[in-house]
């Protein structure tokens, strides 16, 4: 097997040379001759790797045969005098060899009577059952049960999306609107109005995640690449879904709605209306209507807060009778529907318990998600020492910005 060791040494030398060249030269900067040498080296490595694998398998087979041949040479002692061998068959063997069982197996005959002769003194065994002594072999299913996660798109799907090929998103905001329109007497001057624009800029930010995996796993388990691809995408969407609400705006973070300066906010602990939480929500709806002149299209709240709304009651008579507020608001009957005052409710753990957000999310009037690059999934073995260890790094990334045009189109409720 000297040839095997020579081939393994040569393969290692080629791998080290390829890694050194990859670290010192960019492929685009290589000359034509260097690129040809790179391709030839890779072809030689592929051929050598296949040869080494075949030689290793052959070596293992030879070693296994040698062990089996030696075992076959073992000489067993035989008795000098002829002895009557004891019948040491188990009751299971006796039962299988009985006329009744053999008649059923060979000819399909039933109701055949036969006697099983077995001496219990010769063998005493613990009961063999499937539960403990001899569990049957079970082949594992290919099913992977993923960790229970919230919907990673519950907030993302509320916003409209714009595409851009720039590293920034710029737009003009009308910051001056002076309306001097009025009735005018004959020969009198018209009132002069004024308009002014201010340029706004939203930075495009990058979101990313990675996970290492061996080449053997990718090669041996065909479903694992698709599984990892799906989970990386889910991880990115979960992060983005949360950042659209909670991002602090400090680079490289985007600024989420709850941290945007200028949104309306109410503290529910100061609310004195009889309708309690649903009354506070309607006040938020009213605030958006009178400040931003748009209609709210969604209400975000934690599932625990939605439960409190559905089950909240109020005393309505001197006798102390309780009235379900959610059912008594005028438009609710039957099973609880996820809406309040005609506005859809989105119960999600993307928002913290005790905080609700009412807003005009869709349509691009009040906010936009600006995508520079959709989710991109890639693999490479050039990370660290992964090339020599047959490992690859899978990564997923996306680039986008988030523009909130009208902060007053959103209203948060705290201590909810």
280-321: per-residue pLDDT in tens? 999 999 999 999 999 999 999 999 999 998 888 876 655 666
In a domain, 5, yes or no: no
Neighbours of 91 (CB within 10 A): 15
77: pLDDT strictly greater than 60: no
Alpha-carbon distance of 410 to 299, in angstroms, equals 10
User: Does residue 252 have a cis bond before it (omega within 30 degrees)?
Assistant: yes
In a domain, 120, yes or no: no
49: pLDDT strictly greater than 80: yes
Q: What integer is the mean pLDDT of 70-93? A: 61
In a domain, 255, yes or no: yes
Alpha-carbon distance of 95 to 266, in angstroms, equals 83
In a domain, 137, yes or no: no
Q: Which pLDDT does position 139 carry in this prediction?
A: 81
Neighbours of 73 (CB within 10 A): 6
User: What is the 8-class DSSP label of residue 9?
Assistant: H
Hey, what are 53's tokens? 């694998």
Helix (H) or strand (E) holding 57: helix 32-72
CB distance 235 to 396 below 8 Å: yes
In a domain, 75, yes or no: no
In a domain, 243, yes or no: yes
Closest by alpha carbon to 394, among 254, 222, 258, 224?
A: 224
122: pLDDT strictly greater than 60: no
pLDDT tens, residue by residue, 150-196 = 888 999 999 999 999 999 999 999 999 999 999 999 999 999 999 99
* pLDDT winner (highest mean) among 21-35, 119-133, 247-261, 310-324: 247-261
Residue that wins the pLDDT comparison between 330 and 186: 186
Q: Which residue's entry shows tokens 């004195």? A: 272
Alpha-carbon distance of 294 to 390, in angstroms, equals 57
**Least confident window among 41-45, 107-111, 337-341, 402-406:** 107-111
CB distance 398 to 375 below 8 Å: yes
The interaxial angle of helices 276-291 and 303-311, nearest 10 deg, is 110
Give the CATH number for residue 267. Answer: 3.30.2400.10
In a domain, 401, yes or no: yes
Q: Which pLDDT does position 79 carry in this prediction?
A: 55
CB distance 39 to 47 below 8 Å: no
- Residue 228's pLDDT band, with cuts at 50, 70 and 90, is confident
Closest by alpha carbon to 161, among 409, 406, 401?
A: 401
In a domain, 16, yes or no: no
> Which residues span the domain enclosing 178?
156-182+191-414
Residue that wins the pLDDT comparison between 305 and 46: 305
Q: Which pLDDT does position 58 carry in this prediction?
A: 83
Closest by alpha carbon to 1, among 69, 44, 58?
A: 58
Count of structural domains within the chain: 1
pTM of the predicted model as reported, rounded to 2 decimal places: 0.63
């Amino acid at each position: 097997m000297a040839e095997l060791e020579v081939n393994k040494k040569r393969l290692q030398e080629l791998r080290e040379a390829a890694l050194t060249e990859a670290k010192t030269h960019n492929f685009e900067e290589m000359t034509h001759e260097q690129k040809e040498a790179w391709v030839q080296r890779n072809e030689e490595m592929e051929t050598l790797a296949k040869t080494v694998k075949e030689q290793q398998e052959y070596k293992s087979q030879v070693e296994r045969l040698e062990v089996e041949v030696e075992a076959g040479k073992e000489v067993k002692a035989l008795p000098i005098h002829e002895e009557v061998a004891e019948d040491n068959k188990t009751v299971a063997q006796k039962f299988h060899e009985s006329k009744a069982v053999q008649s059923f197996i060979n000819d399909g005959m039933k109701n055949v009577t036969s006697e099983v002769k077995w001496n219990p003194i010769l063998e005493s065994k613990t009961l063999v059952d499937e539960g403990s002594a001899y569990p049957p072999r079970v082949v594992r299913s290919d099913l992977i049960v993923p960790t229970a996660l919230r919907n990673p798109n519950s907030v993302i799907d509320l916003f409209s999306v714009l595409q851009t090929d720039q590293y920034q998103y710029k737009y003009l905001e009308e910051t001056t609107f002076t309306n001097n329109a009025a009735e005018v007497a004959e020969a009198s001057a018209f009132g002069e109005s004024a308009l002014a624009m201010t340029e706004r800029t939203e930075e495009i930010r990058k979101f990313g995640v990675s996970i290492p995996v061996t080449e053997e796993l990718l090669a041996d388990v065909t479903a694992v690449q698709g599984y990892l691809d799906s989970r990386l995408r889910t991880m990115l969407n979960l992060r983005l879904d949360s950042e659209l609400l909670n991002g602090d705006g400090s680079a490289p973070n985007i600024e989420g709605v709850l941290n945007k300066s200028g949104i309306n906010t109410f503290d529910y602990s100061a609310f004195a209306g009889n309708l309690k939480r649903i009354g506070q929500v309607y006040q938020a709806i009213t605030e958006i209507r009178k400040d931003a002149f748009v209609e709210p299209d969604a209400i975000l709240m934690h599932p625990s807060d939605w439960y409190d709304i559905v089950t909240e009651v109020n005393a309505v008579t001197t006798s102390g009778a309780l009235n379900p507020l959610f059912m008594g608001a005028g438009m609710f009957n039957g099973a609880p529907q996820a809406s309040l005052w005609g506005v859809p409710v989105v119960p999600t753990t993307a928002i913290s318990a005790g905080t609700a957000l009412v807003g005009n999310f869709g349509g691009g009037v009040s906010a936009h998600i600006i995508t520079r690059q959709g989710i991109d999934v890639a693999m490479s073995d050039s990370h660290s020492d992964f090339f020599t260890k047959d490992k690859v790094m899978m990564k997923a990334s996306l680039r986008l910005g988030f523009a909130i045009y009208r902060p007053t189109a959103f209203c948060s409720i705290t201590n909810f």
